[in-house]
Structures are given as structure tokens and as C-alpha cells.
Amino acid sequence: MNPKLDVLPTALPTPPPPAAERGERWTNPWRSLPRVRWAVQLAYLAFLLLVGWQFLRFYDAVRGGGPIDVARPPSVEAFLPIAALVSLKRFVLTRYWDEIHPAGLTILLAALATAFVARKAFCSWVCPVGTISRAFEWLGRKLLWRRGWPSVPRWLDLPLASLKYLLLGFFVWTVFVQMPLAAIEGFMQAPYNVVADAKMLELLLHPSTTFLAVVGVLALLSLVVKHFWCRYLCPYGALLGVVSWFSPVSVRRDPEACNDCRACTRACPNEIQVHTKLRVLSTECTGCMSCVAACTTRDCLGVTRKGARTLSPWLVPALTLGVMIGFWAIAAATGFWQTIVPPEAFRWAYRVMGIG
């Protein structure tokens, strides 16, 4: 007998146990996503505050009697979603772009595009209201809920969540069903539409008691319920949610890798039960990637495209920011960003509407 054969193994060696069984600590490579999101959100908020300051200077110059030597920032039209919705119907019917508030229509279409390619990431990475809501979430955790936020009961969450879809339905019905083209043209050429941004600014500069009371109630509710406005009352978010339902991109959970720690569900700002889903297809998902960043198990949560391999979670914010910047660049280069209304026409409209 060959002595060398006696030392050969009689069975194949068993593979090493998984890292979790060996007691090794897994470090989530996506754990920095929430901090990066803060940076992006605060940068956008700072940009919009700069836009607001620039528009305030334009507003003062138009109201004054001297030359209007301050440029009007087109980005202020991001706060005119109703006018953008009306101009969207006009564009569908006539193929003519809104020349009074062209940036507003551009921003609306860009947000809809981000909802398709990256779910509602516009809400969680760009929208200033989403940033303020997140700040209230942080403040509520520090002041009230150090041991974790209380969940909204499902019997209450569903009817509350339907409110924003009812508001969206009202606006869509009013604009797309009840307003004929003649009414749309009349609305868009009316002095009120021309100065809608100035009217919005005056509401902030001289708020009524009712306005302050409503804002105060929403602020208090946001300390008790995570993202109260965004989850239950924002029709813009509802519109993006409808579009996001058709998105091929989603968070996917591997049930075999999941250890049922529920860290993903606790991290979700909209209280989606991520730990029970195979794919997170809810229209409430904002693509914030908090669940992915909170996951405690290797290869459990990831971002996938329908019928394709796993994608990097960084792709969600990258697509969102890329689409927003891309729409702006194309619109600016093709003349679909700046209004055609001259400064003196703004001054006339201000006077007609009793501004200044």
C-alpha cells in the first residue's frame, strides 16, 4: 500500500461558518449615508435661502420707484407648484412651454423624473420642507422620544395618509378636468399669476394669525409624529408617490440573510415595515436610504433595479441630483428657465395687485 494515500483527507473540508456565527462584527459600508444626506439637504436649504434673499431684493426694487437693477432668481418658482401644474396641462394640450414661470414647469418635470428613476428621493434629499421635517424629527427624538418614536397605529395611519391623496385629487381634478384651455390661458396671463411669487413672499413677511396658528400646530405635530406634513398632508409628495410606484428601482430585502433585528423599520421616517418586505414598493418610500444604512446584517438590504443585479445605494441620491442639475442645465441652455416678463411689467403687475 502506498503510504502517501494514508494521509489523504477522507472528506472535503467544511466551509468556515458565516461571520455572524464566528462572532465577527460586520461594519455596514453604507452607514455614512444619513450624514451625507444631511449635508446635501442643508446645502439645498442654504441655496434656497440665498434664492429667497435675492428675490427679496428684487421685490424691494420692483416696489420702489428707482431702476430695477436686481435680477429675479428663476428658482423661486419652485414654490409655485399649482402654477406649474396648470402650465403642465397647457404644455400637454398645446406643446407650448410656460414663458411666465418657465423654471416652475422645469422643476416640476425634473421632480417627476426623479420619482421614476429614484423613487421619492426628491422629498428626502432636495425638498426644503423635507429638511425641516427631518430637523423636527431630530428635535423630537432629543426632547421627547429618547427611547424611540411611538408608531402611529395602522387604523389611524391609513386614513391620515389618504388626506394628501385627496388633496392631490382635488388639484388634479380642478386643473386637468374642470379647467378648459381658455381658462388656463386666462389664468396664466392674469396679473395674479405674474406676481404669485411676490404674494407668497408677502405671506411670509406679514403672516396672518391663522397662518401662524396652522404652522405652529404642524410644528407641534411634527415633534410627536415623524414627518407629519410629508406623510399625511403634502399633495406634491403624493404626486411623486404615484409616479414612484412605476419606478424600477427599489430597496430589496433578502429574508435568508435577515436576522429580524428591525433596525431598518425603526430607521424608516415613514414607518414602513421594511423588515417584512421582500421589495419596498410603498409609495411612501422616499429613497432616503435610512433603512439600508441602519441594517445590521451583511447582504440583507440593497437597492435593485427590476430584473437586474444589486445596485449601489449611492446611486439613488446620485440619480436624483443628476436629474435635477441636468434639467436645469438643459432648460438654461435652451431658454426654458428665464421668464420673458420684463422688470417694468412686473412693476405694473405689482401695482395692479396692490403690492407696494
The set of cell numbers assigned to 339 is 421668464
- The mean per-residue pLDDT over the stretch 270-276 comes to 94
Q: Indicate the helix (H) or strand (E) that contains 38.
A: helix 33-63
Contact of 286 with 120, CB cutoff 8 Å: yes
Q: Residue with C-alpha cell 435568508?
A: 256
Q: What is the pLDDT, as a whole number, of residue 221?
A: 94
Residue 168 gets the label, from left (phi > 0), alpha (psi -120 to 50) or beta, of: alpha
- 80 has a pLDDT exceeding 80: yes
pLDDT band of 334, cuts 50, 70, 90: very high
pLDDT value for 8: 47
Model pLDDT, residue 15 = 53
Span 169-182, pLDDT tens digits: 999 999 999 999 99
**CA-to-CA distance for 184 and 164, rounded, in angstroms?**
24
pLDDT at residue 7 is higher than 70: no
Asked if residue 155 has pLDDT above 70, the reply is yes
Average pLDDT, the chain: 92
| pLDDT higher than 60, residue 20 | no
What CA–CA distances, in Å, run from 80 to 64, 137, 183, 328?
24, 26, 18, 16
Query: Residue 306 pLDDT > 90, yes or no?
Result: no
- Name the residue with cell 442654504: 46
pLDDT band at 217 (very low <50, low <70, confident <90, very high): very high
Q: What pLDDT was estimated at residue 149?
A: 72
| Cβ-contact 121, 36 below 8 angstroms | no
28: phi then psi, degrees, rounded to nearest 5? -65, 120
As a whole-number percent, the residues of the chain with pLDDT over 90 amount to 85
Comparing CA positions, the residue from 338, 132, 316 lying closest to residue 226 is 132
Residue spans per domain, the chain: 72-247+313-352
Q: What pLDDT does 228 receive?
A: 96
pLDDT at residue 22 tops 60: no
Distances (CA, A) of 168 to 49, 88, 112, 172, 174: 27, 15, 14, 6, 10
d(Cα 356, Cα 352) in Å, to the nearest integer? 10
- Kindly tell me if the per-residue pLDDT of 21 is higher than 70: no
pLDDT in the model for residue 9: 52
